[in-house]
């Protein structure tokens, strides 16, 4: 009944974890879910208020424009300028998205012919490979290894693959490894993409979730980046708005026009009231972002120091709300934690073959729950 394309979708490894979670919950186990990459904190009230007001206005009840309201696109351009010093022409170099996943999974349709290579990090966000699959391209995995600070080694990409690749996905601050990239890495990517005629897609939804004074750069800050690529960004993680489905693609006008043309044919834009709320988020006070980071940072400190006391060799992330921890066998480690202690973590293999040997903790739960998780692990004697 289903297409071959469907049968080529990667196996949903998280389904097994979900099943086990349900089993434990049925037994009455108090589950501590550190699996989900979704902020537990609410959307700041001034943003919710902007949505409510905009929803009352009948002018906002019609089909939105495909590319986004001019005022939203201006707010995106101003935010990029304020935050990264990147200058964008709002009318050509910005595009509204229904979350960055929308851009990530649809951009392949505009650039990839059947059989073309797409370079994607492993471990990585699953959208890079599913988007490629729907465009009938082939993923070439770029392993992210600890000895390389979880940055891909561009010299290791075979020349024939590099020359025939159409797209390259990069993602820093990174999910799931929580690694960050220096601007010098982005310069290398620009050179590589220029030499090989590759469109770069930088996925940057975690730029604002950072600790210890770290400021993540944008790919577009690198010289020449505007010539070869675009960046997908999102309000999901910055303003706790995962449910709202609003983000942006910014960068090279011609590349964005390709993505825009695909989207014109598959969706009808983002609800104008949501765009008004997003303007309030991007243009309003940013204390809420700093407050959220302070909360995540405390959770990170509790989790990392707890895990280190238990003997695990775990780096403290500078950004993202993930802790990426080496273990022997990720599936069995995750299953043991869940079945003996009710703690949910994500096995690294779920993010691609190079994720084996790691589990991901999401610090999207209150600090008391993280302390409780550490206590349960201590009793386990792992």
Judged by the rule CB under 6 A, the positions of this chain that interact with ligand PLP are 37, 99-101, 125, 171, 175, 203, 205, 234, 236-237, 242, 247
Which of residues 67 and 377 has its CB atom nearest to ligand PLP in the complex? 67
Among 330, 332, 378, smallest CA distance to 354 is for 330
Nearer to ligand PLP, 10 or 158 (CB): 10
Closer CB to ligand PLP, 133 or 377, in the complex:
133
The CB-of-152 to ligand PLP minimum distance in angstroms stands at 15
Q: What is the H or E stretch that residue 250 is in? A: strand 247-251
The b/e string for 103-134 (b: 16+ C-beta within 10 A; e otherwise) is bbbbbbbbbbeeebbbbbbbbbbbbbbbbbbb
In angstroms, the CA 21 to CA 192 distance is: 43
Is residue 117 within 8 Å of 161, Cβ to Cβ? Answer: yes
Q: Nearest residue to ligand PLP, using CB? A: 99
Q: Which is nearer to ligand PLP, 117 or 206 (CB)?
A: 206
Residue with tokens 């699996």: 35
Closest to ligand PLP by CB, 35 vs 342, is 35
Nearer to ligand PLP, 185 or 377 (CB): 185
Q: Of the two residues 72 and 125, which places its CB atom closer to ligand PLP in the complex?
A: 125
Q: How far is the CB of 30 from ligand PLP (least distance, A)?
A: 27
Residue 372 CB, nearest distance to ligand PLP (Å)? 25
Minimum CB distance to ligand PLP, residue 99 (Å): 3
- Our CB check for ligand PLP shows the closer of 216 and 377 to be 216
- Here the tokens at position 349 are 């293999």
* Nearest distance in Å: CB 207, ligand PLP: 11
CB 234 within 8 A of CB 246: yes
Residue 335 burial (C-beta neighbours within 10 Å; 0-12, 13-18, 19+): middle
User: Other C-beta atoms within 10 Å of 287: how many?
Assistant: 9
Smallest separation (angstroms) from ligand PLP to the CB of 242: 5
Among 328, 315, 291, smallest CA distance to 178 is for 315
Cα 199 to Cα 78, 168, 292, 341, distances in angstroms:
24, 6, 33, 45
Nearer to ligand PLP, 40 or 227 (CB): 40
256 C-beta neighbours (distance < 10 Å), count:
22
Closest approach of ligand PLP to the CB of residue 93, in Å? 19
Q: How many residues are recorded in the chain?
A: 382
Distance CA 177, CA 191 (A): 25
Minimum distance, C-beta of residue 201 to ligand PLP, in the bound complex (Å): 11
Please report how close the Cβ of residue 233 comes to ligand PLP at its closest, in angstroms. Answer: 8
The Cα–Cα gap between 266 and 106 comes to: 9
């Amino acid at each position: 009944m289903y297409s071959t394309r469907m049968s080529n979708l990667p196996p949903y490894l998280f389904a097994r974890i979900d099943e086990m979670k349900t089993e434990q919950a049925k037994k009455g186990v108090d589950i501590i879910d550190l699996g989900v990459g979704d902020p537990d904190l609410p959307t700041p009230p001034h943003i919710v208020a902007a949505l409510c007001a905009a929803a009352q206005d009948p002018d906002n009840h019609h089909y939105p424009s495909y590319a986004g309201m001019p005022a939203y696109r201006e707010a995106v351009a101003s935010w990029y300028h304020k935050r990264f010093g990147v200058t964008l022409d709002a009318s050509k170099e910005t595009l509204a998205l229904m979350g960055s996943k929308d851009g990530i999974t649809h951009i392949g349709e505009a650039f990839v012919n059947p059989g073309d290579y797409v370079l994607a990090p492993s471990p990585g966000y699953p959208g890079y490979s599913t988007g490629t699959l729907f465009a009938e391209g082939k993923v070439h995995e770029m392993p992210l290894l600890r000895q390389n600070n979880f940055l891909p080694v561009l010299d290791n990409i075979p020349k024939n693959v590099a020359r025939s690749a159409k797209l390259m996905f990069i993602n820093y601050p990174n999910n799931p490894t929580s690694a960050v990239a220096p601007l010098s890495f982005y310069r290398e990517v620009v050179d590589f993409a220029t030499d090989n005629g590759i469109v770069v897609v930088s996925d940057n939804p975690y730029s604002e979730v950072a600790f210890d004074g770290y400021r993540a750069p944008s790919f577009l800050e690198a010289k020449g980046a505007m010539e070869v690529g675009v960046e997908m960004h999102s309000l999901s993680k910055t303003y706790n708005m995962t449910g709202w489905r609003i983000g942006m693609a910014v960068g090279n006008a011609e590349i964005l026009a390709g993505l825009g043309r695909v989207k014109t044919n598959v969706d009808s834009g983002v609800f104008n009231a949501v765009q008004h709320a997003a303007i309030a988020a991007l243009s309003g006070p940013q204390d809420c972002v700093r407050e959220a980071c302070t909360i995540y940072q405390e959770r990170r400190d509790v989790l990392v120091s707890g895990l280190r006391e238990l003997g695990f060799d775990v780096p403290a992330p500078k950004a993202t709300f993930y802790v990426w921890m080496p273990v022997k066998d990720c599936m069995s480690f995750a299953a043991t934690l869940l079945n003996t202690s009710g703690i949910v973590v994500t096995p690294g293999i779920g993010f691609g073959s190079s994720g084996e040997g790691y589990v991901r903790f999401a610090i999207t739960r209150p600090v008391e729950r993280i302390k409780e998780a550490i206590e349960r692990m201590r009793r386990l004697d792992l």
